[in-house]
Amino acid sequence: MGETRLIQGRYRLLDLIGRGGMGEVWRARDESLGRQVAVKCLKPLGHHHENAFTRVLRERFRREARVAAALQHRGVTVVHDFGESDGVLYLVMELLDGRNLSQLLEDNRQHPLPVGDIVDVAEQVAAALAYTHQQGIVHRDLKPANIMRLDDGTVKICDFGIARLGHDIGFTSRLTGTGIAMGTPHYMSPEQIGGTEVDQRSDLYSFGCVLYEIATGAPPFDLDDAWAVLVGHRDTAPEPPRSHRAELPEFLDRIILDLLAKEPGRRPHDARELGRRIGAGRTTPAYVPTMVSAPVRPEEVRWPEVREWPEAAGRPGATARPEAAGGPDAAEGPVVAGRPVSREARMPSWTRGMTTGHKATGTGAGLRATPPDAAAGLTGDWIARTDTRGAPDPLPAERPVPAPELLTALTGRHNAGLSLGRLSRWAEAGEVHRAVAAEREHALGPDHPDTLASRYEVGFTLSRTGRPADALREYTHVARTREHVLGPEHPDTLAARQEMAYVLGQLGRHFDAHQVYTGVLATRERAMGPDHPDTLRCRHNLAFNLSRLGRLDDSYRMASEVAAARARVLGPNHPDTLVTRYEVAYALGQLGRWTEALGTYQEVAGARAQALGPDHPDTLAARYEVGISLGRLGHSAQALELYRGLIDDRTRVHGPAHPETLRARHGLGVNLGRLGRWEEALAESRDVCAIRERILGPDHPDTLVSRREVAVGLGWLGRWGDALAEYRQVAGARERVLGADHPDALASRNDEAHCLEQLGRAGEAASLYRKVAALRQGVSGAY
């Protein structure tokens, strides 16, 4: 192998990445697919090893490959292939760009990591362990070197080299040939040391040791003698992490100590419980103290671009369809501002939070902000503003230079807000960003990049909490100020302008949004090229907006072009490529090409299940769209079966009252109606409506869509008087919220008129039809 440097005629070994007790890891090129991969090779064994020993190691390696290849989760390293070549066993994995936690500690001169980073690592690893433990797999060798933090902030568990299926744990000690199960002394659980049976709680103990080390700079029993370390794990209570580092929040100190309980029964029951405790502990920004990141070169500083919004990230009504008045083809989701809710400017759920105004240092919770003295190409404190003529204006003497401690504290709170956003806790995130923006403005001035970064995030949270008009004001201010300070073509300015376009779309001002998107796209293409990720992202958003303008063919054509470009640049199964293919499917549906839409949605759902896991929100969203397409094609029995399974999965993952669970139930009710099972459909719609009204409020778009579906069911059962009351309630609410001339309000008044016709009240119906027609004509005349 060393001479040919080619495995199985396919994997060309390029550079040695690492070497361990079991073998070597190489950076390699997959000659078949033209992509970079990592290849792990079992070390060739010399003749001095016994054949039995060699067989055991080979069996362990094969078992590692089979176990690892079965794992599909964003927090676990993806295994592409495995096999044997010229007597050498190999494992082909995704090539990760980042540093493991051990390397991060070394980079930090063995100083502990920032608290915000620790909490983020804890949360992501807990999610990955919850998945692997659910598969019956125990890692058995969690340590800092086996946990990788990628450049984009994603945290992954690596090297399931001694993973064991839960039902087969007892075989491990026979493989090792020793009385102590495999593991690394500084991170071994007491039950591993004692050679007794281990389960998922052993991984939790090991992870507690990892958290202890990255929180304090050293593992809990940091002794030179291996036996003393093992005795410490078995017999000695660890010192509280806060005794080494007082700034650690109490909830994190408590979690780590609970993970390090000697008895497995005293640890958190499972990784899901651990994840819940971490989420509960970080509810207030006070739990995320100061964070200091390394400064960056001025030429590296830029604002990360706003990405596409996820198809299903816990926000309501992502996959609505235009409503059909009074029939079984009624909408399967809410329509707001004349379009399905939150279809625009989508961003994959694993990338949200990456919108701070500073160079990233990498975290899953969002990009870390560098200190203000490194931002926007400036050195030293921000000491100049720009007046209306564009000339530098010295900072007023009355504003003192802020203390470094204040600036780093504000940076930490800013990142806490990003973390809350990553958890979709937008209202809380907004409160944090508003407070930080006010303090930054007082300390640094209104035009400072950090102040604008916070106001940018305020706008983002407003747009995600149903306040697009307020968000537009924030983004407009940020865009204008950046244009004065940085210039109209600066990436920071373009980022704010693109978010302006997004909220203009939320407000139904799609023509205005189109103009902004077009201007931003022209600048991006000129400055970055047509295939730059930011350019493609803007084109994706523009394609979506074209569909809102009724230019469905143009929307489909542009989305198809973006999907092809992303497949070429990023790969066919990259999340961004799949987001755009999802949009292609949506455009196909809008064009009535439901057979093609169904096939595309099914392909996207399958690819996401492989890349992200079957329970990932984006995978479940694609499955939902498959159900919509089946219903549109008249395959309501298949759609019904799909929705029942989806409801079970949504309930298990998110809970019975989650908006996405309720959307799946809404789809179930619609298809029950299509099958003529109107009594069941009515009962389902009423139940969903009641839950939505209680959780979301009576005037929420999703609640109104459910109430309309109740009216549809009543109508099909001949109960037109009851249906009329429901239709009028929906119409009144939409007029209050959206205005009497809004398309959705007009559609509801048409529903009401149709109902009046069925009741024999033709004169009232005709009068209402004329009123609706006049309002529609007035709206179209305004354009």
**pLDDT tens-digit map of 598-607:** 999 999 999 9
Instruction: State the pLDDT at residue 671.
Output: 94
Most confident of the ranges 293-307, 390-404, 525-539: 525-539
Which is nearest to 703 in space by CA: 596, 711, 540, 120?
A: 711
The lowest-confidence range among 332-341, 451-460, 614-623 is 332-341
50-66 tens-digit pLDDT: 566 566 666 766 776 77
> What is the per-residue pLDDT for 171?
33
Least confident window among 108-112, 622-626, 642-646, 729-733 = 108-112
Question: What per-residue confidence (pLDDT) applies to 274?
Answer: 94
Residue 123 CB contacts under 8 Å (≥ 6 apart), including other chains = 275, 278, 279, 282, 364, 365
The answer to whether the CB of 65 falls within 8 A of the CB of 40 is: no
Amino acid at 590: Q
pLDDT of residue 427: 87
pLDDT of residue 72: 81
Report whether 336 contacts 701 (CB < 8 A).
Answer: yes
Q: With the CA atoms of 313, 316, 320 and 322 taken in that order, what torsion angle do they form, in degrees rounded to the nearest 10? A: -150
- 502 pLDDT band (50/70/90 cuts)? very high
Query: For this structure, is 141 an active site residue?
Result: yes
- The pLDDT assigned to 323 comes to 30
Supply the pLDDT for residue 307.
31
pLDDT over threshold 70, residue 49: no
Binned at pLDDT 50, 70 and 90, residue 685 comes out as very high
Range with lowest mean pLDDT among 294-298, 386-390, 709-713, 763-767:
294-298
Global pTM reads 0.51
Which of 190-194, 326-330, 515-519 is predicted most confidently? 515-519
**For 207-241, what is each residue's pLDDT tens digit?**
999 999 999 999 998 876 777 788 888 888 999 99
**pLDDT score of 456 more than 80:** yes
**Which of 72, 58, 4 has the alpha carbon at shortest distance from 612?**
72
Q: Kindly report the backbone phi and psi dihedral angles of residue 236, in degrees, each rounded to the nearest multiple of 5, phi listed first.
A: -105, 135
In this predicted structure, the answer to whether residue 499 has a pLDDT above a threshold of 90 is: yes
Give the pLDDT band (50/70/90) at residue 32.
Answer: confident
Write out pLDDT tens, residues 620-668.
999 999 999 999 999 999 999 999 999 999 999 888 988 899 999 999 9
Cα 156 to Cα 5, 163, 367, 437: the distances in Å are 28, 15, 17, 33
Burial profile 381-398: b = 16 or more Cβ within 10 angstroms, e = fewer: ebeebeeeeeeeeebeee
Residues tagged in the binding site annotation for ATP: 40
**Residue 311 above 60 pLDDT?**
no
Nearest alpha carbon to residue 745 among 692, 699, 782: 699
What is the mean predicted confidence (pLDDT) over 238-258? 92
Nearest CA to 715 out of 702, 745, 707 is that of: 707
Report residue 721 CA to chain centroid gap: 45
Mean pLDDT, residues 699-727 taken together: 93
CB-CB contact of 330 with 711 (8 Å)? no
Q: Which pLDDT belongs to residue 198?
A: 82
Give the model's pLDDT for residue 709.
94
- Res 239: pLDDT: 92
**208 closest CA partner among 227, 228, 188, 225:** 188
Q: In angstroms, rounded to a whole number, what is the distance separating the alpha carbons of residues 43 and 155? A: 28
Q: In this predicted structure, what is the pLDDT of residue 169?
A: 31
Q: pLDDT value at position 161?
A: 52
Residue 260 phi, psi dihedral angles, 5° rounding: -90, 15
Alpha helices in 345-425 (DSSP H): 404-422
* pLDDT of res. 388: 33
Domains of the chain: 6-94 (3.30.200.20), 98-282 (1.10.510.10), 352-507 (1.25.40.10), 508-605 (1.25.40.10)
Query: Cβ neighbours of residue 353 under 8 Å, at least 6 residues apart?
Result: 153, 365, 366, 367, 418, 419, 421, 422
CB contact at 8 A, 441 and 474: no
Query: Which residues, other chains included, contact 595 with Cβ-Cβ below 8 Å and sequence gap of 6+?
Result: 633
Which residues are annotated as part of the binding site?
40
The reported pLDDT for the residue numbered 206 is 94
Number of other CB atoms surrounding residue 512 within 10 Å: 16
User: For the chain, what percent of residues have pLDDT higher than 70?
Assistant: 78
Q: Is the dihedral of CA 257, 260, 264, 269 positive or negative?
A: positive
Q: Are 367 and 358 in contact (CB under 8 A)?
A: yes
User: Would you state the pLDDT for residue 422?
Assistant: 80
Q: Which of 141, 159, 253, 534 is catalytic?
A: 141
pLDDT: is 624 or 185 the higher one? 624
Is it the case that residue 293 has pLDDT exceeding 60?
A: no
Q: Give the pLDDT confidence of 138-165 residue by residue, as tens digits.
A: 888 899 989 999 988 889 998 765 444 3
Mean pLDDT of 345-360: 31
How confident is the prediction for the chain on average, in pLDDT? Answer: 78
SS3 category, 643: helix
User: Which residue did the predictor score with more confidence, 609 or 84?
Assistant: 609
Number of C-beta neighbours around residue 437 at 10 A: 24
Distance (Å, whole) CA 452 – CA 11: 48
Select from 429, 434, 374, 371 the least CA-distant residue to 405. Answer: 371
pLDDT band (50, 70, 90) for residue 399: low
In angstroms, the CA 669 to CA 321 distance is: 15
Q: How confident is the model at residue 315 (pLDDT cuts 50, 70, 90)?
A: very low
Strand-pair category, 6-7 with 11-19: antiparallel
Mean pLDDT of 451-478: 92
